[in-house]
Structure 1
Amino acid sequence: MDMLTYAATGAIIGLIIGITGVGGGALMTPALLFFGFPAHIAVGTDLWYAALTKTSGLWTHHKKNHIRWRIALNMATGSLPAAILTGVVLSIWFGDAQSYGHILKSALGFMLIVTAVMLILRSYLSKTIGARGQTDTEASNLFSIKLILVGVLLGILVTLSSVGAGAVGTAVLMMLYPRLLPKEIVGTDIAHAVPLTFIAGLIHLHLGNVNFTLLAALLIGSIPAINIGAMISSSIPARYLNPALASLLLLLGLRYALF
């Protein structure tokens, strides 16, 4: 019965991801905490969930030439070492998962609040920052300090919370590169999120923080539901769903950040 419950949870969250593009770590990790899983298992398992669900999307975006690889590589230059260093600190500085569980919950709360704010601002950003569809010459730079620093911050926070590689990464790219097409922003963000969540997932696997039986149940429910959500997304008004999702994430964020 528990496995059916987890599969149903995966289906519900997968449907939301398909419709809105948001909800992987932002909803899955709190859901696992609600079911009574400790923070380290919730975060570690969700990182593998995110990595596996986004991998198929990566290949699709690559074939359609939606990915600005130099942007993704600059971000990964900061995020991947930062994720590894975060894992080293968790492994060496703290004796066991129980001792750093409160840090994971606080990081989760912070990132849920940030994700809620970014979700509220996403429509505003897409409408008001720059002219879409023009060439952004800065996006072709071989080396970008600001992207590397953004990557460092995401590497630390995603490893601690499993949240932010999607919604926060997308919003940052909107602000830094307003002339990129929406499909390029999404493709580039996924190109960065996949290796980051895999590396962070491997770190948590090394720490013993991944429940693969739970992961399998979540994927069984979510993979078909994501595709269904994508197919029906155009018929569901985002102006109602996004504020409701943002409000839920904000409440969850305050819950884990403050209590």
Structure 2
Amino acid sequence: MPSALQGKVALITGASSGIGEATARALAAEGAAVAIAARRVDRLRALGEELTAAGTKVHVLELDVADQQAVDEAVRSTVEALGGIDILVNNAGVMLLGPVEDADTSDWHRMIETNLLGLMYMTRAALPHLLRSRGTVVQMSSIAGRVVVRNAAVYQATKFGVNAFSETLRQEVTERGVRVVVIEPGTTDTELRGHITHAPTKAAYEERISKMRKLQSEDIAEAVRYAVTAPPHATVHEIFIRPTDQV
């Protein structure tokens, strides 16, 4: 039996670790060629060698999604190397939690530029190719796009923004055959929480999740795989997945 994504091309951002890395493996296992993009190109090359050895066609891209010119070039390079784009997984993101009072606003800029503007830049650049292939865009949102807690105002604002942008996009392109999928993970055991620079907030966050059975990157990759391998007439528009232990 042929693999579900044989002949398809997936472009995955934030693919050097965590959910992005696991998603690259999951989609490659389904037969897709993968363009893997992130800033840590050494880790991408190691992943690329692993996937290539398993028979996957891989294109490695050093990319900061906050750089619109670099985004446009990454999409152009992917199409040139792999022949098109059928699936875009917008996974790159940072989580710099902390209170609004006396906040380091450079953290705000970094989150908005990566989590929201970067996702928008990627979507805009890839959309002509997704329209041509009647493809799928997967937006990695978060429980933070649904549930508000203290000391996460700007991170949550970016994820609520991802959800709003994605629903508007869906309404614009769904009748032209492009599927828009929003994945909203709860607490997942990745490097994301290591980004937090506000020490009291980081300590409180680590304490809160310390006794929780966290989601694994592979759990979220499986949700992506499920959504993108659905039959073309069906859009799995939203998957909200959280640890059983998370209130």
TM-score norm. by structure 2 comes to 0.30
TM-score norm. by structure 1 comes to 0.29
Q: Which has the higher contact order (CA 8 A, sep 6+)?
A: 1
